[in-house]
Chains A and B, each alone.
Chain A
Amino acid sequence: MSRFTRGLLPLTIANVKSYVRDRGALFWTIAFPVLFVVLFGSLFSGGTTKFTVGWVDQDQSAAATSLRQGFAAVSLLDLKDANQDDALAQMRDGKLDAVIVVPAGLGTALSSTGSTSTPFQLILYTDPSKQSASGTVQQVVAQVVGGINQTLSGKPPELAVQPQTLQTQNLTNAAYFVPSILAMALMQLGVFAAIPLVAQREKQILKRLSATPLARSTLVGSNVFTRLLIAVVQTLIIVGIGAVLFGVSVLQPLAVAALVVLGAVTFVSIGYVIASYARTEDSANTLASVVQFPLMFLSGIFFPIAFMPQWLQPVAAFLPLTYLGDALRQTMVGGAAYAPLYIDVLVLAGWLAVTFLISARYFRWQ
């Protein structure tokens, strides 16, 4: 029996028992994510969110008709034809989320050969007081128009409009939330992971253990294994609720399992960095909370990153939870990717490597 394995299993079992008998910890790691899934799943159980958009065609050319088909192909949008006055009146009454106006002259502008000095302007009315709706519609319109412009450049002006993939593509809310909440639960489990060790250091349990032949690597190993076991239980519960209550099935179970392990280990390692800089259990708890809230709200957990203000989006691109959530969404429900899966994995592995080195160097045993 090597030095690492001696005591590993009994200590892990003891950790799990201690954990299960601590009702507070149990609530936060098991009940809390479950509440989140049920709550968010139920709140938005209307299935796919659609935006009703008024379509005002003042051009009446073939190009305008193609353009309309392009927009109609976006499943998020429900187009209603109207004249401009009626459309704006309906928007004021709350029946329309936005209005797109195609001014006269589109057909001629597009059929004229040679580059035009100024691009042809579509008019988009959105309601700034409905942020998420207006944000999404703006994104969609920008995406469709961008698609058209790409098609037009250097090519004959043929208006076959291709809607581009969008972050909000075709996911039911439950399908979006289940992987998100799983990612959030793994994050929470991880950032608070080393708090038992800080508490044990504070209460001199670590010192007592250091007077036994138990290896430090065994101590850390059993702590990490304990967290992984809890992560597995959490995953089964969250995925189970998603499947039973909201019909969210898992597309790639093996990939999801691997990502759960990678995500849990990465955030546990981040938790050890937190523990390296905290002297007491209380300060470690505070620090972990300070870390978890921006992660929770800036990583596309509750709403897609595309909905965030422009200036905040680079922050999301830096946060590890962005990539864990994205990777879990891709492999569980096949949602639109924020980044390719291998980038998600690389970013998480990078965070793991850096935080592992920091905590190995700075974690205080006494």
Chain B
Amino acid sequence: MAVDAQPTDTHLDADGDVIVTEGLTKVFEGRGGPLRAVENLSLRVHRAEIFGLLGPNGAGKTTTVEILEGINKSDSGKVSVLGLDPNRDSTQLKERIGVQLQTAALYPNLTVVELIDVFRSFYKHSLPTSQLISEYGLEERKTGLTKELSGGQRQRLSVALAMVNDPELIFLDEPTTGLDPQARRSLWDRVAALKAEGRTVVMTTHYMEEAEQLCDRVAIMDHGRILELGTVDAVVSGHFKERSVRFATVPAFDDAHLAQLRAVTRVAHETDETVLYTTDVPATIGDLERLGERVGAKNLDVAVKRPTLEDVFLELTGRALRD
């Protein structure tokens, strides 16, 4: 009998993957009825990859990450992190993961060394404080109070705190938000080094450039669902076969003519630029220049752009990523 019994076994075939979820769902009781923060979410994160979770605020990224970290419980679906069930074995799991929270403050009246030492005391196994201090470039400030650190130093410290237990899997929450370009690049180097050390990184970010630079694969989320998942190139080219050819708008051109140029699929206007979407960039540009000569518009300042994640994002969600 009992053939149709719901399997209580949440075991997933991880197949060497660090994170596996299947049909993960989390519902919050909100004021306007239940809010499905995460809905039927399935993904896999491979070992030693940098995985980006992208989406606007309220997309469900934070809830998803909290479930994976074992600080929030899922309502249904299967989840396995480092071969453990975060709902059940969260204490064991927390020994082996590192978490950085962008919004989390630090104990303001402790020094850098004191704070790292306190965090080390929470774990069975931890890295030496001096190693963390030097790896994250905090030597100069190691006896300074954390409230006196610069934004970049604070961010490096919060990543260093995520590393105290020498974790196999690290969650980074918008690690470079609010940093100047130089500080951002230096943190990118650190994140790339984590991957080189064989660690797996799951990061959320608002910066497309960051995702394109760092992430092996990305998932774009909105309304608790994954809209797109894959390498940055695959995600972009899956959506846009065309490139865009842009130039400062010339009044003598009319759209009907432009649309008839070779390989042009669509004509658009953005502020004072004309945008031609094309499947063959050289053919379109050749035709465009000939058209220019005919109407006496020379030296068109033409730029060719490949679409970015931002474009994909805009198309998928109708919102810019930073909204």
Contacts and interface: CB of A to CB of B under 8 A. Distances in A.
Interface in A165-216: 203-205, 207-214
Contacts of B109: 17-18, 21-22
Contacts of A9: 121
B125 to A, nearest CB: 11
20 contacts: A7-B118, A7-B121, A10-B121, A17-B109, A18-B108, A203-B105, A204-B103, A205-B105, A205-B106, A205-B107, A207-B71, A207-B101, A210-B71, A212-B94, A212-B123, A213-B91, A213-B94, A213-B95, A213-B122, A214-B122
Given A14-B110, A205-B105, A211 B94 contact: yes
Interface in B66-122: 69-71, 91, 94-95, 97, 99, 101, 103-110, 114-115, 117-119, 121-122
Contacts of A10: 117-118, 121
Given A213-B94, A213-B122, A214-B122, A18 B104 contact: no
A7 to B, nearest CB: 5
A32 to B, nearest CB: 20
A6 B119 CA distance: 11
B203 to A, nearest CB: 15
Interface residues of A, number: 22
Interface of B: 69-71, 91, 94-95, 97, 99, 101, 103-110, 114-115, 117-119, 121-124, 145, 161
Nearest to A18: B109
A25 B109 CA distance: 12
A11 interface: yes
Given A207-B71, A212-B122, A17 B99 contact: no
Contacts of B119: 212
Contact of B99 (A14, A18, A211): A211
Contact of B107 (A7, A18, A207, A213): A18
A14 B122 contact: no
Nearest to A210: B71
Contacts of B69: 211
A207 B123 contact: no
Nearest to B107: A18
Given A204-B101, A212-B94, A11 B118 contact: yes
Secondary structure at chain A's binding surface: helix, strand, loop or mixed?
Answer: helix
Contacts of B145: 21
Given A204-B104, A207-B71, A213-B95, 16 more contacts: A6-B122, A11-B121, A17-B114, A18-B107, A18-B110, A22-B109, A203-B105, A205-B105, A205-B107, A209-B122, A211-B71, A211-B97, A211-B101, A212-B119, A212-B123, A213-B123
Nearest to A20: B109
- Most-contacted residue by chain A among B70, B110, B118, B124 (CB, 10 A): B118
A22 B108 CA distance: 10
Interface of A: 3, 6-7, 9-11, 14, 17-18, 21-22, 203-205, 207-214
Top-9 shortest CB links A-B: A203-B105, A211-B99, A10-B121, A208-B104, A21-B109, A204-B104, A18-B109, A212-B122, A214-B122
Nearest to B108: A18
A7 B97 CA distance: 18
Nearest to B71: A210
A217 to B, nearest CB: 12
A220 to B, nearest CB: 15
A14 B123 contact: no
Given A14-B118, A21-B109, A208 B95 contact: no
A21 to B, nearest CB: 4
A199 to B, nearest CB: 9
Contacts of A18: 107-110
Given A205-B107, A213-B94, A14 B101 contact: no
B82 to A, nearest CB: 14
Contacts of A22: 109
Contacts of B103: 204
Contacts of B123: 212-213
Contacts of B110: 14, 17-18
A33 B121 CA distance: 35
A10 B122 CA distance: 9
A243 to B, nearest CB: 33
A262 B271 CA distance: 72
Contacts of B94: 211-213
A17 B109 CA distance: 7
A315 to B, nearest CB: 38
Contacts of B104: 203-205, 207-208
A343 B118 CA distance: 42
A212 B104 CA distance: 13
A281 to B, nearest CB: 12
Contacts of A212: 94, 99, 119, 122-123
